[in-house]
Structure 1
Amino acid sequence: MSWQALLVLATFASTIAALIRYQHNPTKIFGGVILFLYLSNLVSTEQLIDSVANPGLLTLVLLMLCSIALEKTRLLRLLASSIIKPSLKETWLRLYSVTVLASAALNNTAVVATLLAPIRNNPNHNPSKLLLPLSYAAILGGTLTLIGTSTNLIVNSLLIDTSGESLGFFDFTIIGLVAVIACGVTLAFSSRFLPNHEMEKIDFHSYFIDAKVQAESGLIGRSVEDNGLRHLESLFLVEIVRRNKLISPVAPDEILEEGDRLVFSGDITKLMQLSQFSGLKMFADSNGLLGSNLTEVVIRPESVLNGKTLKGAGFRAQFDAAVVAIRRDGHRISGKLGDVVLQAGDFLVLAVGSDYKNRNNLSKNFILVSGVEAESRLSGLKEWVSIGGFFGAVALAAIGIVPLFKVMFLLLGLLLFTGCLTPSEILRRFPKEIWLIVAAALTLSQALHNSGLVGLLESAFGHISDPSFILVSLFVIYLLTWLLTELVTNNAAAALMFPIAYGFALAVDANPMAFTMIVAFGASASFVSPYGYQTNLMVYNAGRYRLVDFVKVGFPVALVYALVVLTLVPIMFPLK
């Protein structure tokens, strides 16, 4: 074995060890990998440039940028308003179905972020019974299509770079659909082990927002419940003023009439939710609008804030924001907020300044929970352009009329031209971490080939043609990918395991597509750890869960998921 091969193997092993030890800083680790491989001449300048500008990687970035405009519409919030019902069983089924379908086409982190607050604030069921199923449904929904999760797109980027071929839009669908059904049944059974925590709602100051029902409103003649006014995100209908008479508290079956003035209390950043209701004219107190700079975020695992206090991190200077409250494990932290040591998964309620939205470090440090700020909500023609443009582009790519890269590039131009997206939003939300992870994985893959490791695999295993050996190897690749996912996050697991899996498939003269798909599905199998997948982390603190809750509920799901994937992948993609 040459010194280059030994050095690449050492780099690969060191990367995994570093990710396990410092899993909150994957960007620095993968950035260091790229620098080391390049400086040690294990990859050439041309190969480095090809890795950074890989067509599959650029497609992934374009797709994530275009989906930002969709998050600014009321589409997901309309879906959220139809989920919560008095029956827990009906609510669970609606939640699972809506989340799976939405996550098949949209960013599943955005889906969970949108549904998180309505579930936490619902008046009928304890959120701890619903939030973990929400995360698992988002993960499973992402396995239905090529664009359902960044993991699939990362694997596709690596495949394009290695073989020049691309995965089809629906290559995942049959296996993913069986997994959705089988794991859904399993989850429905294991959900009985979920804790039954009663949740405190976040106590925002008593902002009041009143809105008048106009003559042409579609709300007239329908009850408060039917109109979806009881399930708004952080806004609560506290009273109705009708012909100078006060109706309070408001019953769910109260029928709305023309001229009713609806009075809401809660988080004023959610004011623009009311624009989704036809014929509802808002009258916001000018002083109350000062509260529109409140927003809620979750600290990401890779945030620079982890392990630091607000004072020590220079929070105000970094983000042009001040922390109003901190929540951990479902409880608000009181006392001197500046002295609290921050952790991944902490909820922060921020009072933001005028320059907050222009900061480029927000997406790296925070997951936005409260939704899009009121002033950036899309409506009217822009909303239709965003929704119609995105799903139209996806449909054209899915049926093969236009390549996904080309249609997403054109859509991004349209969104910028029409003002649905702004350059500052693109800079702020640019997926720098995923870009760096994939670029590093592509560079590492080039180094594996350059060092002759693929040739060594061929000489070591090329003489073995036993189908049972190849099948066992497929199982081992899945197991390793799953373990890495639980330990170092899904995207990193996919990026690290693909070169090994693909190289091994070539070495034993097996179908590389089978090993490609096993890595893609294995990297999405994060059901046992709250840290392996972003959506798990989002619900971890919100539902006041413990690690044992993930094990009790998620381990049966992980077993059924593995059984489905390991059974169907060799059938759908024969090993020889």
Structure 2
Amino acid sequence: MSTDAYLTISIFLLTICGLLKYQSRPAAVFGLTLLSLVALGLVSKTQLLSSIANPGLITLILLIICSFALEKTRLLRLIASKVIVVGYKTTLIRLFGVTTMCSALLNNTAVVATLLSPIRNNPHHFASKLLLPLSYAAILGGTLTLIGTSTNLIVNSLFIDAEGHSLGFFSFTAIGLMLVTGCGAVLAICVRFLPENEQLLDGSKGYFIDAKIVDKSELIGRSVEANGLRHLESLFLVELVREGRLITPVAPTEVLQENDRLIFSGDITKLGQLSQFSGLETFAHKNDLKDSNLTEVVVRQESILVRKTLKQVGFRALFDAAVVAIRRDGENISGKLGDVELQSGDFLVLSVGDDFKSRRNLSKNFIVLSGVETEIRLNGWKAWLSVGGFLASIALAALGVIDLLEGLVILLGLLIFSQSINVNEVMRRLPVDIWLIVASAILLSHALVNAGVVELIGGFVNQSVGKEHAYLALILVYILTWLMTELVTNNAAAALMFPIAYSLALGFGVDFLPFVMTVAFAASGSFISPYGYQTNLMVFNAGQYKLKDFVKVGLPVSIVYGLIVMIAVPIFFPF
């Protein structure tokens, strides 16, 4: 082997090791991979630029951006209001059906975020009996179309680079329908194993709100009862922090002092009641922000906030926002908010400043829950433009009338000119991580070809085994991709396994398509790990699940999912 081949294989292996070691930072690992390939001269300048501007990758980015406008309409919220009924079986069927259909065309994170609150707040069923099926339905729905999940579009980007043309819009649909039906049936049986975790009556309850008694407050020198702090609507005084000492429970006769920190628990929408007390200051007031301008977010697994306090990271300077409340489902939070060590999956309510939405570090640290975020909602003709334009672009692309990339470019222009979305919002939520991961993966594929590694693997396979072993190789590709999905992330798994699958197909001298589809479906099969897919992370805390809950329900679903893929792929995409 040449020196370039050794270098390229080393970079490939180090990338895998880096992803396993730094699971929460796949973009950083792939970024180093890209820099290494360019610095060592393993790829050309033309290949670098073509990887960054790959048509499939640009289509993926445009699709995500155009979906921002859809999230502002009433479409998903209207659908959500029709899902939950008194009967559990009927609710489960409706929830599964609606979620899979929506996830086939829309961003499945937005679908889950929209349905999360109605499910948590429903008066008929335990939320824990519905939230995990919600996440699984979103994953399965994504397998129905080319645009159903970012994984499919990432694989398509790599396919375009290798073959020069795109996969069909409905290439995934036949097998996707089998997966939805088969896994849905298994899920219907396994939901009996889901826990019945008690939820608070209101999904907004459980938030811990920190307020401070400042100088000259009318509360000083009077008891909790005399100040009327025990008669607030849906807000409860649970703790009092005085000179570093925690007082709980707080007696009605407790006399309040200057600099006391009052810790309330309850409905975040009732926060405005605290403003009626003179000299009671929340984090937002302290930072010259307004309590009325609230945004709810979930802390990502890869966030720099994880295992740190608000004080340690300098939250206000980083995000132009102050945390006014925290909720950690299934666990009580105690003490001052500024001293709470944050965890992935924590729900935060932020009081945001004017510069908040323009900060480019938001998407790396938070999942912003659309439907709670204080942004302008689209109504009237703008809503029709957003929904109609999105569906029209997809329909015309599916019918072959116009290329999806061209349709999305036109739609994005219309959305910006109509101010349905603005440039700041696009820049703030631009999926840079996905862009970097896919571009780096494409570039790595070029490097493997340039160094002769793909040809080397192909020649080795061709000499060692015959075509009759191609199916065994397909099974191996599925298992490796699935393991990487559960251990790392779905997007990274798809990006890394594609060149391996391509090399194997080349070595066996068989059609490349069965291996492509296997990588795509396997990379979407994350059902056992709460961290393999971000919808799993969102419901993990909201449903107060434990890892064993994912294993009990996800393992049977995962096995059936794998069997269907391994049986169906060679039938629909023969060697």
Encode CA deviations 1:382-412: one digit per residue, 9 max, x unaligned.
0000000000110000110000100001110
Task: Name the structure 2 match of 1:102.
Answer: 102
State the match for 1:294 in structure 2. Answer: 294
In structure 2, the partner of 1:50 is 50
Give the corresponding residue for 2:13. Answer: 13
Q: Report deviation, 1:41.
A: 0.8
Query: Using the alignment, how far apart are the partners of 1:269 and 1:135 within structure 2?
Result: 30
> Could you say which residue in structure 2 is the equivalent of 1:428?
428
Per-residue displacement from partner, 1:263-282 (whole Å, max 9, x unpaired)?
xx965599xxxxxxxxxxxx
Pair 463,441 (structure 1): closer, same or farther in 2 beyond 3 Å: same
Q: Which residue pairs with 2:29 in the alignment?
A: 29
Q: 2:115, 2:332 → 1: CA distance?
A: 21
How far did residue 374 of structure 1 move? 4.1
Question: Contact (CA 8 Å) 1:116, 1:369: kept in 2 or not?
Answer: no
Q: Does 1:157 align with 2:154?
A: no
Distance 1:146 1:322 in 2: 39
Distance 1:74 1:204, change over 3 A: farther
Amino acid in the other structure paired with 1:170: F
Same amino acid, percent of matched pairs: 60
**In the aligned structure 2, how far is the partner of 1:512 from the partner of 1:296?**
44
Aligned-pair CA distance for 1:337: 2.1
2:511 corresponds to: 511
Aligned residue in 2 for 1:203:
205
**Paired residue type of 1:389:** G
Q: Which contiguous aligned blocks of 4+ residues in structure 1 show a shift greater than 6 angstroms?
A: none
The code of the aligned residue for 2:114 comes to: T
Alignment pair present for 1:184 and 2:208: no
Q: Distance in 2 between matches of 1:340 and 1:11?
A: 39
User: Aligned letter for 1:479?
Assistant: I
Q: How large is the RMSD of aligned CA atoms in angstroms?
A: 2.2
1-structure distance, mates of 2:148, 2:485: 17
Number of positions where the alignment pairs a residue of Structure 1 with one of Structure 2? 503
Report if aligned partners of 2:204, 2:269 keep a CA contact under 8 Å in 1.
no
Q: Secondary structure at the match of 1:168?
A: coil
Whether contact under 8 Å (1:269, 1:374) holds in the other structure is no
Matched, 1:309 2:275: no
Q: Is the 8 A contact 1:25 1:301 kept in 2?
A: no
Equivalence for 2:144: 144
Contact 2:329/2:541 (CA < 8 Å) preserved in 1?
yes
CA offset at residue 325 of structure 1? 2.5
Query: Using the alignment, how far apart are the partners of 1:538 and 1:375 within structure 2?
Result: 21
Q: Residues 18 and 29 of structure 1 are in contact (CA less than 8 Å); yes or no, is this contact kept in structure 2?
A: yes
Report what 2:401 is aligned to.
401
Alignment-mate amino acid for residue 301 of structure 2:
P
Q: Compared with structure 1, are the counterparts of its residues 370 and 168 closer, same or farther at alpha carbon in structure 2 (3 Å cutoff)? A: closer
Deviation, structure 1 residue 352: 1.7
Matched, 1:62 2:62: yes
Deviation string 1:157-206 (CA, Å, 9 cap, x unpaired) is: 0000111021000000000001000000000111110010011233389x
| Correspondences of 1:250-289 after superposition (within 5 Å) | none
The structure-2 alpha-carbon separation of the partners of 1:565 and 1:480, relative to structure 1 and needing over 3 Å to count, comes to same
SS in 1 for 2:327: strand
TM-score (norm 1): 0.84
After superposition, the Cα gap between the structure-2 partners of 1:88 and 1:548, relative to the gap in structure 1 and judged at 3 Å, is same
Q: Which moved more, 1:476-485 or 1:411-420?
A: 411-420
In structure 2, the partner of 1:364 is: 364
How far, CA to CA, are the matches of 1:568 and 1:87 in structure 2?
34
Q: Please list the CA deviations of residues 20-72 of structure 1 after superposition, one character each: whole Å capped at 9, or x if unmatched.
A: 11111112111111001110111111111111111111111111110110011
- What residue in structure 1 maps to residue 447 of structure 2? 447
Match of 1:255 in 2: none
Q: Which runs of 5+ in 2 are unaligned?
A: 208-232, 235-265, 272-288
TM-fit CA distance, 1:465: 6.4
Specify the alignment match of 2:224 in structure 1.
none
Distance in 2 (alpha carbons) for counterparts of 1:44 and 1:374: 46
* Structure 2 counterpart of 1:321: 321
Residue matched to 1:211:
none
> What are the Cα deviations for residues 494-551 of structure 1, in whole angstroms up to 9, with x where unaligned?
0000011012111211110100000000000000000100100110111111111110
Map of 1:278 onto structure 2: none
Name the residue aligned to 1:485.
485
Matched with 2:263 is none
Using the TM superposition, give the Cα deviation of residue 302 of structure 1 relative to its aligned residue in structure 2, in angstroms. 2.0
For residue 370 of structure 1, report the CA deviation from its aligned partner: 5.0
Give the C-alpha shift of residue 458 in structure 1: 2.2
Contact (CA 8 Å) 2:27, 2:436: kept in 1 or not? yes
Do the aligned partners of 1:103 and 1:141 also contact (CA within 8 Å) in 2?
yes
* In structure 2, C-alpha distance between the alignment counterparts of 1:371 and 1:14, rounded to whole Å: 41
Following the alignment from structure 2 to structure 1, what is the Cα–Cα distance between the partners of residues 327 and 421? 31
- How many angstroms apart in 2 are the aligned matches of 1:510 and 1:340? 56
CA displacement, residues 340-381 of structure 1 (integer Å, 9 cap, x when unaligned): 222222211222222222222211211112525344110111
Distance 1:266 1:353, change over 3 A: same
**What residue identity is the alignment partner of 1:73?**
T
Shift in Å, 1:3: 2.1
Gaps of at least 5 residues in structure 1 are 206-234, 237-264, 271-288
Q: Which residue of 1 aligns with 2:254?
A: none
Residues 375 and 269 of structure 1, relative CA distance in 2, 3 Å threshold: farther
Alignment partner, residue 262 of structure 1: none
Cα shift at 1:466? 3.4
Q: CA deviation at 1:491?
A: 0.3
Contact 1:117 1:370 in 2 (8 A): no
Cα distance in 2 between the residues matched to 1:292 and 1:425: 20
Separation in 1, partners of 2:358, 2:497:
36
How far has the Cα of 1:467 moved from its partner? 4.0
Correspondences of 1:216-255 after superposition (within 5 Å): none
Q: Which amino acid aligns with 1:296?
A: E
Aligned residue in 2 for 1:336: 336
Cα pair 2:290 2:352 within 8 Å, conserved: no
Q: What letter is aligned with 2:127?
A: P
- Cα separation, 2, equivalents of 1:135 and 1:349: 23
Instruction: Quickly say closer, same or farther: Cα 1:472–1:269, change in 2 above 3 A.
Output: farther
